[in-house]
């Protein structure tokens, strides 16, 4: 990560997240692995109470838009 990078983490702001598989291997290239990812994402979403606005699953990476809940 670059030095001096400032991150702003605010509740209820929309965040765009991209992540890749190890060495950009095509782990998400089959319907079975994509379904597993979607089930895991939903389980995590429920556990941490955030909303998913949209996502794209590619064979070796994922783009995800999420929004954190407002503080209680």
Domain ranges of the chain: 14-67
User: Assign residue 71 a region: left if phi > 0, alpha if psi is -120 to 50, beta otherwise?
Assistant: beta
Query: Residue 6 and residue 9: Cα distance in Å, rounded?
Result: 10
pLDDT of residue 64: 97
pLDDT digits (tens), the chain, 72 positions: 578 877 766 667 888 999 999 999 999 999 999 999 999 999 999 998 999 999 999 999 999 999 988 776
């Amino acid at each position: 990560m670059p030095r001096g990078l400032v991150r702003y983490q605010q509740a209820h702001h929309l965040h765009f997240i991209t992540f890749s598989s190890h060495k950009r291997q095509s782990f998400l290239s089959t319907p079975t692995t994509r379904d597993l990812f979607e089930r895991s994402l939903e389980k995590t979403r429920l556990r941490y109470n955030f909303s998913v606005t949209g996502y794209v699953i590619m064979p070796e990476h994922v783009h995800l838009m999420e929004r954190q809940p407002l503080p209680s």
